[in-house]
Structure 1
């Protein structure tokens, strides 16, 4: 989950992140329920991310997906770090194996830690910005009630639902090698 892919005229909007964020409670497995279009996830299904405490204040992330065109499984490892105050949910993600070493914004706008998380990323490029959003869930197949809670966070922050694409989780591998 690195570069945002939905272009917009003007700078990134001023979006407030979640208060009293607890990174330790956020750790563990998350499944991507919906996302904005992102080139790096093109034809991706079964998208999941696992966050673990790597020690020394470092959080590691492993993103996995499978191509619905070829069936090939892929994974990428990265590092998550806090960029704001400790109680803020402003994080950044870096994937050292990518050709461009960029710290991508990863802002948690809302989560209950047990069911859903709404993540926002925006980068400024002069007269325009690129934006991305994800709805992550602890379950591969979240209930409508859980999705409604995530949508309420999306709506509260004025984020357009028009760009969301549902992630396919049919026939996903139970284990990854």
Structure 2
């Protein structure tokens, strides 16, 4: 995505759909909140509730711009994880107010991982918002077949 504006991207996003990821296994009420730190860094707080146990979890990380400041290529790092890797986080398309389509791909020698997310500003997005997100998914050649809808029902208000 060209002309990306990180300042407009800040704030709360709710996960509408995702590719399967082990770190989100059985996660519901998934949200991400992006903010700017006083020292110029960008921070992320991810929250989710386990649909198996009901336990709520939070993880805090740092977001860095990769390349030019107007490019939507970011990297996300969660220092509290046992292996602190910076994962690619590319915003393929967003209108900043309703939806965002994100892609991540990492190669680890013999295997690789591919992740995709559709994020929305509303916990329960409207059909027109999802249609715009799906159009962005299609334009970028991402398969819709692997998306799993995220359960956003009966979630804590602050999530």
TM-score past 0.5 threshold = yes
Structure 1 unaligned residues grouped into runs of 5+ = 1-17
| Match status 1:20 vs 2:3 | yes
Deviation (angstroms), 1:124:
1.9
Structure 2 Cα separation of the partners of residues 111 and 131 of structure 1: 19
Residue 146 (structure 1) aligned to one of 125, 129, 134: 129
Aligned length: 159
Task: Using the TM superposition, give the Cα deviation of residue 129 of structure 1 relative to its aligned residue in structure 2, in angstroms.
Answer: 2.6
What residue is the counterpart of 1:69 in the other structure? 52
What is the deviation of 1:128?
4.4
TM-score (normalizing by structure 2): 0.97
Instruction: Give the equivalent residue in structure 2 for 1:9.
Output: none
Q: In structure 1, what is the Cα distance between the partners aligned to 2:150 and 2:102?
A: 15
Comparing 123-132 with 34-43, greater Cα deviation is found at 123-132
Question: What is the aligned-residue RMSD (CA, Å)?
Answer: 1.0
Partner of 1:60: 43
Measured after TM superposition, the shift of residue 127 of structure 1 is 5.4
Q: 2:97 matched to which residue of 1?
A: 114
Instruction: Structure 2 unaligned segments of length 5 or more: list them.
Output: none
Secondary structure in 2 aligned to 1:145?
helix
Distance in structure 2 (CA, Å) of the matches to 1:133 and 1:68? 21
Q: CA deviation at 1:106?
A: 0.4
Matched residue, 2:16 = 33
| Cα distance in 2 for residues equivalent to 1:50 and 1:175 | 11
